[in-house]
Structure 1
Amino acid sequence: MKKVKVGIVGLGRLGRRHAENLAFRIPRCELSAVCSVIEEEVQEVMEAWNIPYGYTKYEDILANKELDAIFIASPSNFHCEQIKQALDLGFHVFSEKPLGLYVEEAYDVQQAVKAHPNQVFMLGFMRRYDRSYMAAKEKIEAGVIGKPILIRCYGLDPANKMESFLKFARANYSGGLFLDMSIHDFDLARWYLGVEAKEVWAIGGSYARPEFDEIDDAETGAAMVRFDNNAIGIFVAGRNCAHGYHIETEIIGTKGTLRIGTVPERNQVVIMKDEGVIQECVDGFLERFEQAYLSEAEEFINCILENRTPNINVEDGVQSTILGYSCKTSFETGQLVQVKAKNMIYE
């Protein structure tokens, strides 16, 4: 039985989870190579999982002719160049979000993908593979809530992860709150509403941690978006959620409403004690979207084996980057931004 031989770049929190899925949970996939700038991570994974090849330079993993595909889980600012390099050398490519931190580089990747039509390219918008989000999409398409006219999204990271994020951001690995966090919600909005954004207004600030001001970012922010069909988007993102990792989505239609994740419960266990009734919350994205991360990696491998195109394509990455960068621009300038490809206009 043919297996797809994959090399992964990036062994951080998410990269490690992707690597585990590729190595142990997808029967027709073989994780053959790992790459990280941290040599200790490479050696640990190679020895523990019996991986034959390990590298500390991206160019070296691309020189491995045994590989069929490259799985990119490196910091965001490396994605575009690494995608283009891998495509040019004939690899199938999976890249984590975002496609790019700037609109022009996202367009560059779009051209690179179009220049290699026989190679599979897939972007890591894993929520589209989460069972709850998939069920909501099916209900929208079935007309259960009529025409969707408003989407409200909360994306709140645990407060206890702020130190690690600040380290990440200070190293210039992040594109800011809206590109780093809200990008998933922007993709969901496009997916559910079926239209592109028209104009945005974004605000935010640093409330518990003034260090965010020092890096020109927001600890908590909100964006209001008008879409082409006059539908409304309300997006809230934050780094200081005391109760854990809170991802919530509401889609309001002309005939009803759908809600996903209103209570970020870890499981169905309810604790009843003298201090009250407690439902424990999920601790982070790896726990909440465990199934989705596996399902999207399975889809990538199956697309290679079956010679077909994933449902999530480079255009989804480009349009989400345009919207995310528009929100970043609105936040930084305090102005309403007209969302237009290649030429954003301020009012």
Structure 2
Amino acid sequence: MKKVKVGIVGLGRLGKQHAENLAFRIPHCELTAVCSVIEDEVKEVQERWNIPYTYTTYEDMLQNKELNAIFIASPSGFHCKQIQQALAAGFHVFSEKPLGLYLEEAVEVQEAVEAHSDKVFMLGFMRRYDKSYMAAKEKIDRGDIGKPIFIRCYGLDPAVKMDSFLKFAGSNYSGGLFLDMAIHDLDLARWYLGTEGKEVWAIGGGYERKEFDELKDAETGAAMVRFENNASGVFLAGRNCAHGYHIETEIIGTKGSIRIGTVPERNQIVLFNENGAIQECVDGFLERFEQAYRSEAEEFINCILEGRKPAVTVRDGVESTRLAYSCKESFEKGELIQNRTNSLTV
């Protein structure tokens, strides 16, 4: 079977993990080109992994006719433009979330994807490819908990990364707490409940670090959402979790409930000593979702080879962005917001 030749843009923490997966762990895939505006990142990857082509300008990489696909792991503010450029240049495209920081540009990307229907487009909502979250979806669809009517999501990043979070929040590329972090949970809610958000109320602030208030972002924020089918959800996102990286989801139905990740355990070890029973927790998203990142990249490559489209669509990106943006607007205005499901043609 032939190999899909991929070029990746963005070699930050997540981008480098994606690049390593593409280079060494994804069958029928060849990491052929890497791109970063930081020249040292490009040199390091080329020397360590012997990558044939390296670039510091994205547009230059798009001129490489050996490539079949582009993998976008750049900062969020670049996603929309880079997706449209790659599609126009004739490539299949994988993009990390979010689809965009503004609803209008996300809709423009949807139009571009639909105009290039012969190309595979996939968005990086990796939790849909995590084995636990996939198993929960199967149980919900099978009716094991009856009709799902409520979802509760915690997305908490480790407190030890607070300084780097502040730098990112001030970069104008994060989009804020709800677009950067809670969007994963909002996408899961749409997936599990099978409906779109209708009304949003979001609150939050800077509690440990007041710099977040100055940036008009939230260190910790919460949103309550009423969905179109009258199901509801509560979403907590924060950047100050003392015990590590904590991702937890609960779906309550009319006949039962499912919980995922109640204890963010690193392994099956429990240490018993004078301090009690101690379990180590994962320290970041790369560790917790290592398998999911591999699985989503493998699905992208398989879709290209098999001539099919992934289950995660560009519309998922638009509607999750729409809902996250409504949360952001509610937080900033301190008002109940009607999610603008039909305000733009999609």
1:335 aligns with 2:343: no
1:199 match: secondary structure: strand
User: What is the alpha-carbon distance in structure 2 between the residues aligned to residue 318 and residue 254 of structure 1?
Assistant: 29
2:119 match: secondary structure: coil
CA contact (8 A) 1:18 1:293 kept: yes
CA contact (8 A) 2:177 2:217 kept: yes
Q: Which digits, 9 at most, give the CA deviation of each residue in 1:85-133, with x for residues without a partner?
A: 0000100000000000010000000000000000000000000000000
Q: Which digits, 9 at most, give the CA deviation of each residue in 1:275-334, with x for residues without a partner?
A: 221000000000000000000000000000000000001000000000000000000000
Q: How far off its partner does 1:173 sit?
A: 1.4
Provide the residue aligned with 2:200 in structure 1: 200
For 1:65, give the aligned amino acid.
K
Q: Which digits, 9 at most, give the CA deviation of each residue in 1:52-109, with x for residues without a partner?
A: 1001111111111110000000000000000000000100000000000010000000
User: What is the alpha-carbon distance in structure 1 between the residues aligned to residue 169 and residue 209 of structure 2?
Assistant: 14
Provide the residue aligned with 2:90 in structure 1: 90
User: What is the alpha-carbon distance in structure 1 between the residues aligned to residue 248 and residue 225 of structure 2?
Assistant: 17
User: What is the alpha-carbon distance in structure 2 between the residues aligned to residue 242 and residue 114 of structure 1?
Assistant: 44
Alignment map for 1:7-86 (pairs within 5 Å): 7-86=7-86
User: What is the alpha-carbon distance in structure 1 between the residues aligned to residue 169 and residue 35 of structure 2?
Assistant: 22
TM score, norm. by length of structure 2 = 0.98
User: What is the alpha-carbon distance in structure 2 between the residues aligned to residue 275 and residue 2 of structure 1?
Assistant: 56
RMSD: 0.8
Q: How far off its partner does 1:214 sit?
A: 1.2
Alignment map for 1:171-186 (pairs within 5 Å): 171-186=171-186
Alignment map for 1:216-255 (pairs within 5 Å): 216-255=216-255
1:21 match: secondary structure: helix
> Percent sequence identity over matched residues?
78
1:5 match: secondary structure: strand
Range moving further from structure 2, 265-274 or 244-253: 265-274
Runs of 4+ in 1 over 6 A off after TM superposition: none
Aligned length: 344
Which blocks of at least 5 consecutive residues in structure 1 are unaligned? none
Provide the residue aligned with 1:6 in structure 2: 6
CA contact (8 A) 1:104 1:342 kept: no
User: What is the alpha-carbon distance in structure 2 between the residues aligned to residue 163 and residue 208 of structure 1?
Assistant: 12
Alignment map for 1:147-296 (pairs within 5 Å): 147-296=147-296
TM score, norm. by length of structure 1 = 0.98
Q: How far off its partner does 1:14 sit?
A: 0.4
Q: How far off its partner does 1:341 sit?
A: 3.0
User: What is the alpha-carbon distance in structure 2 between the residues aligned to residue 315 and residue 27 of structure 1?
Assistant: 28
CA contact (8 A) 2:198 2:341 kept: no
User: What is the alpha-carbon distance in structure 2 between the residues aligned to residue 143 and residue 276 of structure 1?
Assistant: 39
CA contact (8 A) 1:103 1:342 kept: no
Q: Which digits, 9 at most, give the CA deviation of each residue in 1:146-205, with x for residues without a partner?
A: 000000000000001111111112121100000000000000000000000000000001
User: What is the alpha-carbon distance in structure 1 between the residues aligned to residue 211 and residue 54 of structure 2?
Assistant: 36
1:166 match: secondary structure: helix
Alignment map for 1:123-162 (pairs within 5 Å): 123-162=123-162
Which blocks of at least 5 consecutive residues in structure 2 are unaligned? none
For 2:143, give the aligned amino acid.
G
Q: How far off its partner does 1:343 sit?
A: 3.4
User: What is the alpha-carbon distance in structure 1 between the residues aligned to residue 332 and residue 27 of structure 2?
Assistant: 47
Q: How far off its partner does 1:27 sit?
A: 2.1
1:181 match: secondary structure: helix
Q: How far off its partner does 1:342 sit?
A: 5.9
